[in-house]
Structure 1
Amino acid sequence: MVSQEVSDLDQPTVGQKEKITYQASCDSVELGEDHDVEKEFSDFVQLGEKLKTKGTFWNNFKNVEFPITFKNRNNMVYFLGVFTSFAGILSGVDQSIISGAHIGMNKALQLTQHENSLVSSLMPLGAVGGSILMTPLSENFGRKKAMLVSGILYTIGAIICAAALDNETMYAGRFILGLGVGIEGGSVGVYIAECVPPNQRGNLVSLYQFFIAFGEVLGFAIAAMFFGIHGGWRYMLGSSLLFSTILLVGLMFLPESPRYLAYNNKYAEAINVYDRLRDTSDHSSKVEFLELIKSAKAERELRARQSRIQVWLDLFTIARNRRALFYTVIMVSLGQLTGINAVMYYLSTMMANIGFSSENAVFMSLVGGGALWLGTIPAILYMDRFGRRVWGMNLVGFTFGLVLVGVGYLIPLDTNKPAALGIYLTGLILYMGFFGAYACLTWVLPAESFSIGTRSLGMTICSSFLYLWAFTVTYNFNRMKTAMTYTGLTIGFYGGIAFLGFFYQIFFMPETKGKTLEEIDEIFEKPAIEIAKENSRNMKRFLGSF
């Protein structure tokens, strides 16, 4: 019989022992002590079985879940990845649809340029607040329930925006939508990273950016669909209701993260969820679960001796955490300070300035949105094959696109309109396409870089920076393009930041492809200068092969 006391499972087991090594690509991580894998894993399985015999209805009710299981566990992994990432559609639709809604909304609500900027920028500002809320929600109620809260906020925000009769009501609706975006953005990546196998983590977390980009295309399409209808902007802004309903229903079929459950001492629930996501007859899956338990137990014991303030301080005082935080904040900042949100929110306006009519500008926005969406597809298929460092080089492609966009604005429309439109659209397509591929990194890297005890907190800070920069570039877009011109803004400011980011990635970006979350802990134990030296040696070998 298996003792129900968790402490029994923490003791060394008797019987034949073996040194466990979990192979992941070319590297491995050891459990650190002798373990009888089969015996220890079966102990956890028995705990799970005992929980099932006690009845699962109350458990499922508490977890807001109607469990489903696939015979092929990979299908469950894909189902979880796709439905969770579907949340990105809401974020994408709300980012792009405001571009088309501006035209009718500005007239109906008689918005000034400053009020117009606030309507666009209050959503990312609200997302900063949502990112801050994400940590207490995610840690106290679970990753999945945090996403449920975000879906509810989306629904409330969409109703308020669609019914707004003045700018103040619109501000409130956009801010509430932002709260949903911030909670979702921080929760989705962590949830997927904690649930899926390491060799599928990059692809499935990238799926979130795919759905964001698809939502942006959908937002432009919805805007074009309702553009000619009286009061069409209200239908545009209210369309989020459909997608938030689908998200809320889909989440009810998904389990809680097994790592979150293990961290909260719910081993029986953790093994039952894990069994739905892995082929537990496979030896490496058993070892991965035991590593998960060991890591969760170590973090829990550490946090039990610390206050909440100490946990915050650990992000900065412990070298491993500080390196992960600095690295992920830099990468997130590169994804936002290169102008993507400003371009998305004002794409219809930019199209009009390059020579398109108001109606055609809305339709032509689909070109940029479509390129962004198509750019995410290679990330889903190939990021885990080529690795994070190679994927980071998409930054070069979208920098070149920014240069062409800036050059397009320099060509006089009255004397050479075809050339101006051709260069501008070519640059826009390149910028959006390469950025779509690159943006997937901004969700994958923070989700996998932090230790289990600091993961929610780390994601909160990264998400806060992401949306804070989005608010900054969006709110100041009109002022910056007036002061710097479109060309100076796209080439000088956005392009300049991308240029500096290229060299940071070359020297300081570690490779985390194919590694378990526990193995990634070891990478960030290395000083940054050691990572830079390794990257320099690898670059020399690579260049010397030609």
Structure 2
Amino acid sequence: MSSFDLEKKNETEHFEGDSDSGVRIIQIDAGKYLEVNDAKIAEGIDTLEQELQVSGKKPFLSSRWLKRPERFIWYLASLASVGGLLFGVDQSLISGAALYLPKDLNLSDSQESMVVGFTPLGAMGGALALMPLNDIFGRKGTIIISSIVFTVGAILEAAAKNFAVMLVGRIVLGLALGLLSGTVPAYISENCARRWRGGLVSLYQVMVAFGVMMGYVIAAIFNSVKGNWRYVLGSSVVFSTILFFGMLTLPESTRWLMKRGRKLDAYQVWKYARGLDSVDERQEFYIMEHVLLYEKEMAQDRWLILDLFGTKRCLRAISVAVTCSLICQQMSGVNSIEYYQATLVQAAGLSPQNAVYTSLVGGGVMFLSTIPAIYLMDRLGRRTLTLTLIPGIAIGLVITGCSFLATNLGVKLGIYFWGIITYTIFWSPGLGPVPYLLAAEVYPTYLRSYGMSLASFCNWTGTFVTTYPFQYMANSMTSTGVFAGLYCGFLLLGAFYLTLFMPETKGLTLEEINEIFQRPLTHTMHTNVRNLKKTWNALIHLRFKEVWKLDSH
């Protein structure tokens, strides 16, 4: 690794010193640079291929029938994203089951709130356990452990005879969801090429939305069956079993393998997941290796968690990721709507049976609205997509809140569904997937487990705050005040911060994103303000293609 004095280099660009000779200099840290020589990289790749052939290592199971990287990476992302489906299924299953289980188990209003709201509390514990589990067992191992824990929790729920067993089941299930929400996006992000990363990590949120819809379908199927909530809650075991056996066919994350010193294994996974035919892929593999070696060297004899909260580079990443996840995504009230959707519809005037059926509307809209994120995330960009959709989310919250002011049942239901559909259409493709994607991108590899743990903890903290005390908040502030006032206010406050300080990360490698956060936030702010002026000028002159320009892969 060749390092040069910072004063001798221009640190505003990632790639420096480009030449026809195929030799370039890139910055990997403040004052630290790496020489990238295409000829030496090609020679190193050839050596690794020879070592792989001599070693006799057998490829992982799924690579035996998925030979092309573009097909394999979709299989990997789709299967790992079943972890997101478990999250979505639980949201809607408990929403439908909550209409019946309080009567069967003789739950008080306080106990009902605990059954619904304490799953996020368990997930907060899972988020804290994410750090050591990811470091010890890897991304793949943690996902497998999570699927087992989820199955145990689902069985306890379905078999519960009293409040205590039900509560334990909800908390255990929450532990698994906390682990999955912080591990799956990182696992996908570390294995896929930069040109696909946004769309494939967004697949996690698509599966969350699909899970929400599936949960409402399952609740509707068992709606007229005696003891229906047991079948409803127990049905999620099917999906956790699929995740368990599916993960056995997949490899470990390339960057985790390299971090553990298993270079040949990392090369084998990279070969199948991304391919090494292009110069860009070879360069990224080489850069990834040396950046990890540098980070590992810097992390020796230190408490890594102190780096997360003690370095300016990481604090910048935290400020953006937490604002996007906790303030904008969670505190905009999405979980109040999902966990209590059937209850809210019932409060609007429908019977429990009809409330379950009408909840299908919200679940279906969320799923269909999230699908465009797969296409738009790497073409339009994370920042542009998020900020474009936030005004629509705010309008949806105001409409939803105003629906509770109506006295006529038909008018109340009409305005309510207008509000949640508007909210869902604008929330799903932007604030749905972007926070998970940002959290998987903005932290350096050696701290990614810690960063994802923090992201997951903040995510579930927001879920807990907007679910467990929701009934109390609605009673004290009215439902109108909660949706149109509290949630909308948090959303707009977070949007203001993101407008100034959220960088665009589309099309960049994880190592290039690392460089962005080496710069002061004021640098990002000046860039964003400059671009914002151009955007407003284009909007005023109706040049919409300049504002929403779609890049091709």
Asked whether the equivalents of residues 405 and 427 of structure 1 are also in contact (C-alpha less than 8 Å), the reply is yes
Asked whether the equivalents of residues 45 and 268 of structure 1 are also in contact (C-alpha less than 8 Å), the reply is no
Tell me the CA shift for residue 503 of structure 1.
1.3
Q: Which amino acid is 1:508 matched to? A: F
Residues 400-436 of structure 1, C-alpha deviations (whole Å, 9 max, x = no match):
01111111111112xxx33222211111101122111
**1:178-189 superposed matches below 5 A:** 178-189=174-185
**Partner secondary structure for residue 373 of structure 1:** helix
Residue matched to 2:413: 421
* Structure 2 residue 366 is the aligned partner of structure 1 residue 372: yes
Residues 459-506 of structure 1, C-alpha deviations (whole Å, 9 max, x = no match):
101110110111111110010000011111110101111121221121
Residues 228-284 of structure 1, C-alpha deviations (whole Å, 9 max, x = no match):
101111000100111011111111111111111111111111111110022312111
Provide the C-alpha distance between the structure 2 equivalents of 1:40 and 1:456, rounded to a whole number of angstroms.
Answer: 28
Provide the C-alpha distance between the structure 1 equivalents of 2:21 and 2:500, rounded to a whole number of angstroms.
Answer: 42
Flag structure 2 segments of 5+ consecutive residues without an equivalent: 2-19, 542-553
Tell me the CA shift for residue 353 of structure 1.
1.2
Residue matched to 1:397: 392
Residue matched to 2:532: 539
TM-score (norm. length: structure 2): 0.90
Provide the C-alpha distance between the structure 2 equivalents of 1:523 and 1:424, rounded to a whole number of angstroms.
Answer: 42
Provide the C-alpha distance between the structure 1 equivalents of 2:131 and 2:450, rounded to a whole number of angstroms.
Answer: 6
Residue matched to 2:207: 211
Aligned length: 514
Residue matched to 2:344: 350
Tell me the CA shift for residue 51 of structure 1.
4.5
Q: Which amino acid is 1:408 matched to? A: S
Q: Which amino acid is 2:500 matched to? A: F
Correspondence for 1:98 among 94, 99, 103: 94
Residues 66-110 of structure 1, C-alpha deviations (whole Å, 9 max, x = no match):
643533211111111111112211111111100111122111110
**Partner secondary structure for residue 428 of structure 2:** helix
* Shift in CA distance, 192/88, structure 1 to aligned 2, threshold 3 Å: same
Residue matched to 1:230: 226
**1:342-491 superposed matches below 5 A:** 342-393=336-387, 394-413=389-408, 417-437=409-429, 438-491=431-484
Residue matched to 2:38: 37
Tell me the CA shift for residue 288 of structure 1.
0.9
Asked whether the equivalents of residues 444 and 514 of structure 2 are also in contact (C-alpha less than 8 Å), the reply is yes
Asked whether the equivalents of residues 387 and 512 of structure 1 are also in contact (C-alpha less than 8 Å), the reply is yes
Tell me the CA shift for residue 369 of structure 1.
1.3
Asked whether the equivalents of residues 22 and 39 of structure 2 are also in contact (C-alpha less than 8 Å), the reply is no
Residue matched to 2:4: none
**Partner secondary structure for residue 207 of structure 2:** helix
**1:69-468 superposed matches below 5 A:** 70-306=66-302, 310-333=303-326, 334-393=328-387, 394-413=389-408, 417-437=409-429, 438-468=431-461
Tell me the CA shift for residue 43 of structure 1.
2.9
Flag structure 1 segments of 5+ consecutive residues without an equivalent: 1-6, 8-15, 23-29
Asked whether the equivalents of residues 151 and 180 of structure 1 are also in contact (C-alpha less than 8 Å), the reply is yes
Provide the C-alpha distance between the structure 2 equivalents of 1:43 and 1:537, rounded to a whole number of angstroms.
Answer: 42
**Partner secondary structure for residue 98 of structure 2:** helix
Provide the C-alpha distance between the structure 2 equivalents of 1:210 and 1:449, rounded to a whole number of angstroms.
Answer: 21
Provide the C-alpha distance between the structure 2 equivalents of 1:512 and 1:40, rounded to a whole number of angstroms.
Answer: 26
Asked whether the equivalents of residues 217 and 366 of structure 1 are also in contact (C-alpha less than 8 Å), the reply is yes
Asked whether the equivalents of residues 17 and 35 of structure 1 are also in contact (C-alpha less than 8 Å), the reply is no
Which region of structure 1 is more displaced relative to structure 2, 424-433 or 42-51? Answer: 42-51
Tell me the CA shift for residue 37 of structure 1.
2.8
Q: Which amino acid is 1:84 matched to? A: A
Asked whether the equivalents of residues 295 and 518 of structure 1 are also in contact (C-alpha less than 8 Å), the reply is yes
**Partner secondary structure for residue 385 of structure 1:** coil
Provide the C-alpha distance between the structure 1 equivalents of 2:46 and 2:220, rounded to a whole number of angstroms.
Answer: 54
Correspondence for 1:20 among 19, 24, 30: 24
* Shift in CA distance, 143/45, structure 1 to aligned 2, threshold 3 Å: farther
Provide the C-alpha distance between the structure 1 equivalents of 2:502 and 2:250, rounded to a whole number of angstroms.
Answer: 33
Q: Which amino acid is 1:494 matched to? A: Y
Asked whether the equivalents of residues 347 and 365 of structure 1 are also in contact (C-alpha less than 8 Å), the reply is yes
Residues 304-328 of structure 1, C-alpha deviations (whole Å, 9 max, x = no match):
232xxx3111112211111001211
Asked whether the equivalents of residues 369 and 432 of structure 1 are also in contact (C-alpha less than 8 Å), the reply is no
**1:61-72 superposed matches below 5 A:** 67-68=63-64, 70-72=66-68
Q: Which amino acid is 2:487 matched to? A: Y
* Shift in CA distance, 41/155, structure 1 to aligned 2, threshold 3 Å: farther
Provide the C-alpha distance between the structure 2 equivalents of 1:88 and 1:220, rounded to a whole number of angstroms.
Answer: 16
**Partner secondary structure for residue 384 of structure 1:** coil
Q: Which runs of 4+ in 1 moved over 6 A?
A: none
Tell me the CA shift for residue 204 of structure 1.
0.5
Provide the C-alpha distance between the structure 2 equivalents of 1:47 and 1:502, rounded to a whole number of angstroms.
Answer: 47
Asked whether the equivalents of residues 379 and 440 of structure 1 are also in contact (C-alpha less than 8 Å), the reply is yes
Tell me the CA shift for residue 367 of structure 1.
1.0
Q: Which amino acid is 1:397 matched to? A: G
Asked whether the equivalents of residues 209 and 370 of structure 2 are also in contact (C-alpha less than 8 Å), the reply is yes
Tell me the CA shift for residue 544 of structure 1.
2.2
Provide the C-alpha distance between the structure 2 equivalents of 1:215 and 1:450, rounded to a whole number of angstroms.
Answer: 28
Identity level (%): 38
CA RMSD in angstroms, aligned pairs only: 1.9
* Shift in CA distance, 131/75, structure 1 to aligned 2, threshold 3 Å: same
